Chain A
Amino acid sequence: MIYPVLKKSIPPLLVFFFVIGIHYSITYGFLEPTRRFLLPPPHSIIYEGFFVPKHREEILRGLFLTTKVSFIGLSIAFVLGFSVALLMSQAKWIERSLYPWAVFTQTVPILALVPIIGFWFGFDILARIIVVVIISIFPIIINTQTGLNGASKNLHDLLTLHKASRWTRATKLMIPYALPQVFTGLRTSAGLAIIGSIVGDFFFGRGSPGLGMLLKVYSSRLRTEELLSATFMACLLGITVFWFFSYLGKKLVGHWSEAWSS
């Protein structure tokens, strides 16, 4: 019974040990002792980051704040992005009017906007949430829109034949049809939301310290161990969120959607 599980987990484990091995060999093989602060060995990163109570608390608080900002921002981006996509699917002129703005959120160099967002909304949680919304809304809009427009002409004709109202068409055809792609968008956006909240943090440099601000502080103090621990936490958060939305998608539409089955 245990054998298949073992067989499945051996390759990733091997890769993991290989990477750790390279890490150690760089620290002890290539770096002179005085320069080892550039890449401290894994065990001291783990020790400094997670076993020194002060650092651990700092990092966990940062993680919590980053998670909170990302989550709130992503929820807003989802509601807003979904609504915009739904609106765009209802008439060509709405699509033409809103689409450029959607593209704008994708192409605007967010770093250029950060100072102005700071001026307008202060340097605390609100400003960070706004950065998250801007950075994560595009994949939700574009994926939802593609999904909403994806139902075949024949299916639409079928509804036309039976005199379906605009509401019926949206709720019984277009929205369910779009769901697999909505989840694809959400999964992409979730990762971006975390990046957004860290970037916002990093550049606002004030207000409550999330992971981004910790990264800044640690790097200015050359605290490589804590810096790498915090980075590791950020990655872990990203992976968890990606995994969560993959799971959610599979759970909710995997039984009928080819894209989400398997």
Chain B
Amino acid sequence: MADKLITFDNVSKNFGAIKALENVNISVDTGEFLALVGPSGCGKSTILRIASGLDEISSGTLKTRTSKIGYVFQDSTLMPWRTVRKNIEFLAELEKIDKQIIKNKTNDIIELVGLQDFTEHYPIALSGGMKMRASLARSLVLEPELFLFDEPFGALDLITRGKLNVDLMQLYNSKKFTSLFVTHSVEEALFLSSRVLVFSGRPGKIVGEFTVPFKYPRASEIRYSSEFAELSGKVGRVLEKFS
């Protein structure tokens, strides 16, 4: 019996007359990296909102064993009036963590995400990729047990996106936080996750499940292997069929 951090049992979600999710069953093991792919508007983001407690479910049951949740949105949601350092400290500040502890942790995390040279910059001066790094760092300071990613790299160019994938992979390797990662990109999903769930168009249902066999830590090279391409093709076909 594996250690489940969060379980969706027959969960449905309606917004008024619109069915967003229908009978969704997901369970995420502690330390697992689970990716959710599906067409736009299929309710993937709703799953994250439900997992975080931002949205209520309409029926079914939800079991969560942690309240230490990190949430990373598609836009970096940095506060433009705060410097990078101040932004990274922000959530810890909200949680009223001791100032000295925040400071030390922030220093470590800044180093980890490679923003040492930009700590006193304002977001206006950062590139899209650096903003996302800062956004990630902000959540990392709180050492979340469950990380929810809502297409965090969706707005970035492909090259930056690829780089950040590799960086996130390294972060995951060192911290092993449990992750729910929503994305449109099959390649991104396969590279990062140990399991991929494919969603249909609205109402969102799970129509495919793939285990990703590559061992962690994964080198960026695996994305160019034939095995990777083959699996990517399989997932892509299911995705196309149901969207």
- Identify the A interface with B (CB < 8 A): 152, 154-155, 157-164, 168, 172-173, 176-177, 179, 253, 255-258, 261
B54 contacts which of A157, A253, A255, A256 (Cβ < 8 Å)? A157
Q: How far is the CB of A91 from chain B (nearest CB, A)?
A: 20
CB-defined contacts of B124 to chain A, threshold 8 Å: 256-258, 261
Asked if residues A158 and B71 are in contact (CB atoms below 8 Å), the reply is yes
| Distance (whole angstroms) from the CB of B86 to the closest CB of chain A | 11
A159 and B69 alpha carbons, distance in the complex (Å): 13
Question: Which residues from B are CB-within-8-Å of A161?
Answer: 52-54, 69, 71
| Alpha-carbon separation in the docked complex, A257 to B90 (Å) | 19
**Chain B residues, Cβ within 8 Å of A256:** 80-81, 122-124
Looking at the complex, which one of B74, B77, B122 makes contact with A158 (CB distance below 8 Å)?
Answer: B77
Q: Which residues on A sit within 8 Å (CB–CB) of B95?
A: 162
**From residue B199, how far is it (CB to closest CB) to chain A in Å?**
21
A257 to B124, CA, bound (A): 7
**Chain B contacts with A in 36-87, Cβ cutoff 8 A:** 49, 52-54, 69, 71, 73-75, 77, 79-81
- Nearest Cβ in chain B — how far from A252, in angstroms? 10
Q: Shortest CB–CB separation between residue A183 and chain B, in angstroms? A: 13
A–B complex contacts, Cβ < 8 Å, 16 sampled? A154-B74, A154-B75, A157-B49, A157-B54, A157-B71, A158-B77, A161-B53, A161-B69, A164-B94, A177-B79, A179-B81, A256-B81, A256-B123, A258-B80, A258-B124, A261-B124
- Which of B75, B79, B123 has the most A CB atoms < 10 Å from its CB? B79
Nearest 3 pairs of A and B residues by beta carbon: A162-B94, A256-B122, A154-B73
Encoded as 1 (CB less than 8 Å from any A CB) or 0, chain B from 144 to 158 comes to 000000000000000
Q: Hey, which chain A residues are within 8 Å of B79, CB to CB?
A: 155, 173, 176-177
* Chain B residues in 8 Å Cβ range of A253: 81
B166 close to chain A: CB less than 8 A: no
| A152 to B73 CA separation, bound complex (whole angstroms) | 11
Q: How many A-B residue pairs have CB under 8 A?
A: 50
Expressed in whole angstroms, the Cα–Cα distance for A176 and B83 within the complex equals 13
**CB-defined contacts of B53 to chain A, threshold 8 Å:** 161
CB distance from B90 to the nearest CB of A (A): 8
Where chain A touches its partner, the secondary structure class is helix
Taking a contact as CB atoms under 8 Å apart, the answer to whether B122 and A255 are in contact is yes
Query: Chain B CB within 10 Å — which of A159, A162, A177, A179 has the most?
Result: A162
A158-B72 Cα distance, complex, nearest whole Å: 9
The answer to the question of B168 belonging to the interface, with a C-beta cut-off of 8 Å to chain A, is no
Interface on B for A, CB 8 Å cutoff? 49, 52-54, 69, 71, 73-75, 77, 79-81, 90-91, 94-95, 122-124
Residue from A155, A161, A168 whose CB has the most chain B CB atoms within 10 Å:
A161
Asked whether, in the complex, the Cβ of B91 is within 8 Å of the Cβ of A154, the reply is no
A159 to B95, CA, bound (A): 10
CA distance in complex: A60, B168 (Å): 67
A164 to B69, CA, bound (A): 15
Q: Name the distance in Å between A30's Cβ and chain B's nearest Cβ.
A: 53
Cβ-closest chain A residue relative to B75: A154
Q: How far is the CB of B77 from chain A (nearest CB, A)?
A: 5
Determine if B77 and A155 form an interchain contact, defined as CB atoms under 8 angstroms apart: yes
- Among A152, A168, A257, A261, point to the contact of B94 (Cβ < 8 A): A168
Q: Are B54 and A154 in contact (CB under 8 A)?
A: no
- Roughly how many angstroms separate A46 CA and B201 CA in the complex, as a whole number? 76
Question: In whole angstroms, what is the CA distance A34 to B54 when docked?
Answer: 80
With the chains together, A220 CA to B77 CA distance in Å? 60
Residues of B contacting A163 in the complex (Cβ-Cβ under 8 angstroms): 94
Whether A159 contacts B94 by the Cβ 8 Å rule is: yes
Report the bound CA distance from A255 to B95 in whole Å: 28
Cβ-closest chain A residue relative to B93: A172
Residue of A nearest to B78 (CB): A155
Other CB < 8 Å A-B pairs besides A154-B74, A161-B53, A177-B79, 9 of them? A154-B75, A155-B77, A155-B79, A158-B73, A158-B91, A161-B69, A162-B91, A162-B95, A179-B81
